[in-house]
Amino acid sequence: MTPAVTPYPPGRGAGFLRVLHAEWTKIRTVRGWVTGLLAAAPMMVLAALLAGVGGNQEGAPPVPAGPHGGPVTDSFYFVHRPMAGDGSITVAVSALTSSIPKGPGDLGPGTVPWAKAGLVIKAGTRQGSPYAAIMVTGGHGVRMQDGFVNDTAGPPGPVSAESPRWLRLDRSGETVTGYASTDGTHWTEVGTARVSGLGSTAQAGLFVASPPAVRGGGTAGSVSTATFEDLHTREGRTGGHWTGTQVGARSPSFAGYPENTSGSFTASGSRITVTGAGDLAPAVRDSLPTGGHLRDLLAGTFAALIAVTVVGARFITEEYRDTTIHLTLAASPRRSRVLVAKAAVLWAVAFAAGLVGTLLAIPLGERLARGNGVYLFPVSSATELRVAVGTAALLATASVLALALGAILRHGAVAVAAVLVATVLPCLLTALPFTPAGLSKAVATVTPGAAFAVQQTLVPYHQVASNYTPYYGYYPLAPWAGFAVLSGYALASLAVAAVLLGRRDV
Amino acid sequence: MSAAEIVVTGLHKRYRATRALDGMSFTVRPGLVTGFVGPNGAGKSTTMRVILGLAAADAGTALVAGKPYRSLRHPLRHVGALLDAVAPHPGRTARNHLLWLAHAQGLSARRVDRVIEQVGLTPAARRKAGGYSLGMRQRLGIAAALLGDPPILMLDEPFNGMDPGGIVWMRGFLRSLAAEGRALLVSSHLMSEVQDTADRLVVAGRGRALADAGVAELIAAASGNRVAVRTTARPDATRVLGRAGGAVSATGPDTVTVSGLPADRVAALLTHGAVPFSELTAHRATLEEVYLELTRDAAEFRAATPTEAPR
Amino acid sequence: MRTALHAEWTKLRTAAGPRWLLLGTIVATVALSTAATSMATCTAGGCGGDTTRLALTGVCLGQATIAILAAQTIGGEYGTGMIRSTLAAVPRRGTAFAAKAVALTGVVALGGTAAALGSVLAGRLVLPESGDRALSLAGGPTLRAVLGTVLYLVLIGLLSLGIATAVRDSATGVGLVLGLLYVLPILSATVGDLHWRRLLERAAPMSAGLSVQDTTDPGGPSLGPWAGLGVTAGWAAAALLAGGLLLRARDV
């Protein structure tokens, strides 16, 4: 008679928690894996350090900021005189032509859709001071704009000597109203703006601005000339001469005039011809090339991505190599549970390491960059937090994608390469100057690399023509939508991996 | 069915062109060491992997304590397995290797230290497994199998890579586990090891169990009624014994083997016929002979099967 | 050396992995190149940039599979323990390593040629008339770009072999190689100081090496085609040296 053996008394914890506990023990007991995952944090910090000390803008002129707090381009040719209190100013625009350099020193006619000629009432000639303006544009008809970011469309169509456009600005206290007319007698209201800070005596007059023209992946400086007629002001006039001033001649958000051109105005009879360059608009990455943004400080994400991807893939493929997977599945026969537990543990560790990295890297990089006089595009703390959390989630999810591909392919090197090609290569392709914009936007939408949209902090403006491409920090997808693309890939791969793991013999 | 039983019934499995399992059936009973023998490719490892739910059979069932392995809630508390060729991650210490396994079953670190002690690995427990010898890895594998204190143990080639001291230790260890009432399935291609350890034997060949019986029974059956006689007068011995109805064959210059007559009758006949002889032993077959005989029969049987005939 | 080389060649030839990876390299390279050229906006004046370089964009992708192939030739042996048999058969480790490198060079050159020629051919088919002129192989710069691309892929293979030997793991090796290739240019782009940025771009194996594809403005802001490829060769040589020395010094 042999004694009966009773199974060892059951321990604590439910089924899935046990698998989770086992996977946690597994990941934390291989030093290489822990090092790889935790390395994400110092890599982020190191890159932020590099980016922070790498640029030196000390002594550069300050970046003008508008009333909304954001950076602006406030550089244009202004023909003005003071206007005390309330008043009105009217003019007819009969021509607006633009020129773009064809080669060095060789200017040719060109189209600049957002070339502007019209009237402006501005607190002063200081950059960033509040204003309201009504204008004709190269390709967007009449517009009423104020505070750099606000834009209202008026009657469409271009101007010419045969069909000039009359423009009018009325100031009444803090309210400025813009009107447009095709004959000088019948007026339509285009818009009303409340402009605080105009002061008791504002500067009012004509202005011409000509932003850089977008060509291929870059921009070229342009210059525009407008013909005005019939300029008169009512009330509020304090008299004095019309003065021509280049506002913001030296500014980080103004690239200057094309070679051999300059701003000017000439008057003959009732006709005034004004030539100008620059813009009266919010600054974007393209127009403020020295400005840094949060993404620049987080370049370490790519290095960290490699580290977590390698660990993610090895976390499963080494089980196949050592055939530890036999033991794992013998201990936990519900196979999809094992995969989910692995993914959860990996995600959590990579996320934690990434979050520590971003939370350290962002303030450190910002402080260093600002200390070097580098202007950073302002972001709210909520956005900053979104970037930090999003970047950590990106790292963690990419790592899980590597795990899933590793489980499918059972080959570490291929899994690592697949994830890196899918996430990093799109960013690189979009950064190459000769990559067509279409390809650039396509890869930033459909590949897992779309997730880098979580690092977007820049805002595109429809009234500023620019290269709104991923290269400059403008992504085609919204931050979390981009992240969802990566998550979709990761979840789909995980599902495929679970099905295959369940079906395959090991 | 007992909680300490494995019942394998009619397992079939094909890997592309090869037929790995072809109706494998046997039972592993509590309190006994069941040897699982056969050459490489006989289907031993595949059977064990099917029992553990690592590979799926095309047909047939493998039940552990009355249930398919994959439906067990805490499998390692029912079955402990030492799998051939499973290496712990080289970067992990032995203790940590057992720790994750313990956590998967809700077992404590105390239990881990207990099994490490049981297999005599305590001095090396906190060293990385990458530097382990094959013998140490086997001990670690046994420790993993014992972790859940299971009533069933399934050990694939436990003697592999063990030094003579280790083999002796392992033999005693297996016997003591069986004495506690556990069911043990021990696969090996070293027949002599199994002969000294096992109570029962499952002989695998060509994906099926050629025999499933007690070791003593099998050996007796294979030994037959044969007696070896050493004599200087071989022709006389052949004549005397042949006349009494025995089948005699010469097996050496001064030895003959007689079958069909018991040993005492042979002795009496030789003495009566005044044939000189110096040694007379009842022949005892080895497991190797048992195995060879069984597989030879199987080969003949299979060759005669019409379904296997070439078309 | 000859027998060692023969052995390595047989290993590469008889495993399914390298064959698929080589095929993958060709398909991936041609596919991405075709996608890039088909999305270019071409006018009579040209396609807004360097047409040849555009038609060879796919190399960015193809080099990844080459990196896997190369890392796998040694990393796979470490994974399975076959490295012991390899070094038992050819005890002079330098010879064994050199044989691997030479066999790999042959295989990558073969696949690279197919990939580069396929990309240019696809470019000629996709682009309108204006593209034809730039993509004619009779033209010196385009021929140089194709030849340079093949050499570039060979160098990336050797770089990957060296790194994978040093880390003894193909997954980690591939991660490091792709880090060097992909991440270095991205990191350098964040450096504000123009001097340092230029220096980093010239030192990075991918941005420097691929300047061999420039046909419109060779030697402009970059190092020049052959000097750029020389930088990549330097990286490959350093990696091979490090891998070779570690292989000799370590136990397996």
The verdict on B61 and B161 lying in the same domain is yes
B134: in domain: yes
Q: What is the DSSP code (8-state) at residue B92?
A: S
Nearest chain B residue to A4 by CA: give it.
Answer: B181
Judged by DSSP in three states, C211 sits in: helix
The verdict on B241 and B110 lying in the same domain is no
The verdict on B20 and B67 lying in the same domain is yes
- CA-based nearest distance A239→chain C, Å: 48
- Residue that wins the pLDDT comparison between B45 and C80: B45
Question: Which residues have CB under 8 Å from A268's CB, separation 6+?
Answer: none
Identify the residue among A305, A366, A420 best suited for mutation to test binding to C, counting C beta carbons within 10 A and taking the highest. A420
User: Of B177, B212, B247, which one is at a domain's C-terminal end?
Assistant: B212
Distance CA A451, CA A397 (A): 10
Contact A292 C187 (CB under 8 A): no
The verdict on B24 and B163 lying in the same domain is yes
Contact C187 A47 (CB under 8 A): yes
Identify the pLDDT of residue A350.
Answer: 96
Distance CA B129, CA B112 (A): 16
Least trusted range by pLDDT, from A185-189, C56-60, C113-117, C221-225: C221-225
Q: What percent of chain A has pLDDT over 70?
A: 94
User: Which amino acid, one-letter code, is at C17?
Assistant: G
**Which residues in chain A have Cβ-Cβ distances shorter than 8 Å to B144?**
327
Confidence at A2, pLDDT banded by 50, 70, 90: very low
Q: Is residue C210 pLDDT above 90, yes or no?
A: no
Note the pLDDT tens digit of each residue in A410-443: 988 999 999 998 888 887 777 766 667 777 888 8
Contact C186 A299 (CB under 8 A): yes
The structural domains of chain A, with segments of one domain joined by +, span 16-59+290-458+466-503, 72-282
Burial class (CB in 10 A: 0-12, 13-18, 19+), A91: buried
The verdict on B44 and B93 lying in the same domain is yes
B147: in domain: yes
The verdict on B248 and B199 lying in the same domain is no
CA B199 to chain centre: 9
The verdict on B41 and B179 lying in the same domain is yes
Contact B103 A333 (CB under 8 A): no
Contact C178 A417 (CB under 8 A): yes
The verdict on B143 and B267 lying in the same domain is no
Which residues of C have a CB under 8 Å from any CB of A? 35-36, 39-41, 48-50, 53-54, 57, 60-61, 64-65, 67-68, 71-72, 75, 79-80, 169-176, 178-179, 182-183, 185-187, 189-193, 196-197
User: Which amino acid, one-letter code, is at B277?
Assistant: F
Residue of A288, A379, A241, A273 whose CA lies nearest to A75 = A288
B88: in domain: yes
B301: in domain: no
Q: Is residue C135 pLDDT above 60, yes or no?
A: yes
Distance CA C1, CA C5 (A): 6
B76: in domain: yes
The CB-side HSE value for B221 (13 A sphere, CA atoms) comes to 13
**Which residues in chain A have Cβ-Cβ distances shorter than 8 Å to C56?**
none
- Picking from A10, A29, A327, the nearest residue to B106 by CB comes out as A10
Distance CA A454, CA B216 (A): 73
Angle at B7 between CA B1 and CA B12, to 5 degrees: 150
B72–chain A Cβ distance below 8 A for any pair: yes
How many CB atoms within 10 Å of residue A217?
18
Residue of A75, A110, A79, A73 whose CA lies nearest to A227 = A79
User: Of B171, B187, B212, which one is at a domain's C-terminal end?
Assistant: B212
**Which residues in chain A have Cβ-Cβ distances shorter than 8 Å to C169?**
314, 412
Confidence at C161, pLDDT banded by 50, 70, 90: very high
The verdict on B182 and B233 lying in the same domain is no
Is the domain covering A72-282 a CATH 2.60.120.560 domain?
yes
Integer CA distances (angstroms), A232 to A89, A176, A194, A270, in order: 6, 17, 23, 10
Judged by DSSP in three states, C196 sits in: helix
B289: in domain: no
Q: Along the 311 residues of chain B, how does pLDDT read in single tens digits?
A: 567 789 999 999 998 888 889 999 999 999 999 999 887 788 888 999 899 988 889 999 999 988 999 888 888 889 999 887 677 888 889 999 999 989 888 888 999 999 999 998 999 999 988 888 888 888 899 999 999 999 999 999 888 888 888 888 888 999 999 999 999 999 987 777 787 889 999 988 888 898 888 888 887 777 766 788 888 888 888 888 888 888 888 877 888 888 878 788 888 888 888 888 888 887 777 777 777 777 765 544 444 334 433 33
Average pLDDT value over all residues in chain A: 89
User: Of B212, B238, B272, which one is at a domain's C-terminal end?
Assistant: B212
Q: Residue B231: give the domain boundaries.
A: 225-284
B78: in domain: yes
B126–chain A Cβ distance below 8 A for any pair: no
**Which residues in chain A have Cβ-Cβ distances shorter than 8 Å to B104?**
18-19, 21-22, 328, 331-332
Which residues of A have a CB under 8 Å from any CB of B? 2-8, 10-13, 15, 18-19, 21-26, 29-33, 318, 322-324, 326-334, 505-506
Q: Is residue C194 pLDDT above 70, yes or no?
A: yes
Identify the pLDDT of residue C133.
Answer: 56
Distance CA C38, CA A491 (A): 31
| pTM score of the predicted model | 0.85
The verdict on B239 and B204 lying in the same domain is no
- CA-based nearest distance A207→chain C, Å: 34
B273: in domain: yes
Average pLDDT over residues C197-210: 85
Residue of A117, A1, A23, A15 whose CA lies nearest to A315 = A23
What subunits make at least 3 CB pairs under 8 angstroms with A? B, C
Distance CA A287, CA A282 (A): 9
Identify the pLDDT of residue A442.
Answer: 85
Least trusted range by pLDDT, from A23-27, A140-144, A279-283, A468-472: A468-472
Question: Which residues have CB under 8 Å from C64's CB, separation 6+?
Answer: A417, A420, A421, A425, C28, C174, C178
Q: What is the DSSP code (8-state) at residue C179?
A: I
Note the pLDDT tens digit of each residue in A33-73: 999 999 999 999 998 888 887 777 777 888 999 998 899 99
If DSSP states are collapsed to H, E and C, what string results for A464-495? CCCCCCHHHCCCCCCHHHHHHHHHHHHHHHHH
For residue B100, give the CATH number of its domain: 3.40.50.300
Confidence at A109, pLDDT banded by 50, 70, 90: confident
What subunits make at least 3 CB pairs under 8 angstroms with B? A
The verdict on B162 and B16 lying in the same domain is yes
Average pLDDT over residues A233-247: 78
Pairing of strands B200-205, B33-37: parallel
The verdict on B138 and B240 lying in the same domain is no
Identify the pLDDT of residue A427.
Answer: 79
- Picking from C39, C54, C61, the nearest residue to A438 by CB comes out as C39
- Picking from A4, A33, A328, the nearest residue to B181 by CB comes out as A4
CB A343 within 8 A of CB C205: no
Q: What value of ipTM does the predicted structure carry? A: 0.84
Q: Please name the helix (run of DSSP H) or strand (run of DSSP E) that holds residue A74, with its range, or none.
A: strand A72-84
End-to-end CA distance of chain B: 44
- CA-based nearest distance A216→chain B, Å: 53
Q: Which two tokens stand for residue A292?
A: 């840094």
Counted domains in chain B: 2
Q: Which two tokens stand for residue C78?
A: 């470490």
Packing angle of the helix pair A335-371, A324-331 (nearest 10 deg): 110
- CA-based nearest distance A91→chain C, Å: 41
